[in-house]
C-alpha cells in the first residue's frame, strides 16, 4: 500500500480528492475519484473505494467499459508498468502521449516569445542609445503570456497560471493605453529614465 501512495504523491494524485463524497475513513464505502497525471493505458477513471475496517481498493474503469477493483499493491504494479515503460522522450518532457508534444511545443513557443521580448527591448534601446519600451515588447509579452497561460492550465500548474494571468492584465492595459494615446493624437512616450 505504501508503494501505491508513494506513486500517487509523485504522480500528482491524492486519495483525499473527491467531489461531494464522504471524508476518508468515514466507512461510507462511497468511491472517491482520483485525479492522476499518469494512468495505465486504457484507463478512463480511477476511484478509491473503502471496503470497511480501513481497507481500500482501487476501482478502475477501462476504456472498453469494464470495471475492475484491484488491491493497492496491484494498482502500484499497474502504475509502475506504465511509468517505467514510457518512451525516453515522454519521460524527458513529462508527458504521457504524443499529443503532449503539441502542448510542450506551445509552452516552448510561448517561452521563446516571452524571452524574445526582452531581446527586442534591448536591441531597440541600444539602437536609440536610451532605454525604450517598444510596442512590440507589449505584444510579445501578451502573446507569450497567453501561450504560457494555456500551457500551465493544461499542466495544472497553479504557480504558472497565477504568474502569467497577473502579468496578462498589465500587458493588455499597456496596449490599451498606447492605443488610446494614438487615437487621441497625443505624442507617445515610450522611453523610461
Domains of the chain: 2-85 (2.40.50), 90-184 (no CATH)
pLDDT of residue 37: 67
β-sheet with 55-62: strand ranges across: 32-34, 43-52, 55-62, 67-70
pLDDT of residue 10: 41
pLDDT of residue 187: 60
- The three state secondary structure string of 91-144 is HHHCCCCCHHHHHHHHHHHHHHHHHHHHHHHHHHHHHHCCCECCHHHHHHHHHH
The answer to whether 86 and 100 have CB atoms below 8 angstroms apart is no
Q: For 31-87, how does the pLDDT look when each residue is reduced to its tens digit (9 = 90+)?
A: 888 777 667 777 888 888 888 777 888 888 888 888 888 888 888 888 877 777 677
pLDDT of residue 189: 55
The vertex-118 CA angle with 114 and 120, nearest 5°, equals 105
The two beta strands, 43-52 and 32-34, are: antiparallel
Task: With a cut of 70, list the residues of the chain below it in pLDDT.
Answer: 1-29, 37-38, 85, 186-193
Torsion angle of alpha carbons 90, 161, 137, 120, nearest 10°? -30
- CA gap 27, 93 in Å, rounded: 40
pLDDT of residue 56: 84
pTM for the whole structure: 0.60
Amino acid at each position: 500500500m505504501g508503494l501505491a501512495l508513494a506513486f500517487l504523491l509523485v504522480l500528482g494524485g491524492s486519495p483525499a480528492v473527491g467531489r461531494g463524497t464522504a471524508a476518508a475513513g468515514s466507512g461510507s464505502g462511497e468511491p472517491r475519484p482520483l485525479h492522476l497525471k499518469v494512468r495505465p493505458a486504457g484507463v478512463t477513471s480511477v476511484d478509491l473505494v473503502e471496503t470497511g475496517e480501513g481497507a481500500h481498493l482501487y476501482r478502475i474503469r477501462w476504456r472498453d467499459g469494464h470495471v475492475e477493483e484491484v488491491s493497492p499493491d496491484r494498482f502500484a504494479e499497474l502504475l509502475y508498468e506504465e511509468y517505467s515503460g514510457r518512451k525516453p522522450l515522454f519521460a524527458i518532457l513529462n508527458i504521457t502521449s504524443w499529443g503532449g508534444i503539441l502542448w510542450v511545443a506551445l509552452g516552448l513557443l510561448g517561452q521563446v516569445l516571452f524571452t524574445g521580448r526582452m531581446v527586442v527591448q534591448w536591441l531597440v534601446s541600444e539602437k536609440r542609445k536610451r532605454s525604450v519600451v517598444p510596442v512590440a515588447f507589449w505584444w510579445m509579452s501578451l502573446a507569450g503570456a497567453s501561450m504560457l497561460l494555456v500551457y500551465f492550465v493544461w499542466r495544472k500548474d497553479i504557480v504558472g497560471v497565477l504568474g502569467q494571468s497577473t502579468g496578462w492584465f498589465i500587458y493588455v492595459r499597456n496596449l490599451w493605453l498606447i492605443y488610446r494615446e494614438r487615437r487621441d493624437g497625443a505624442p507617445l512616450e515610450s522611453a523610461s529614465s
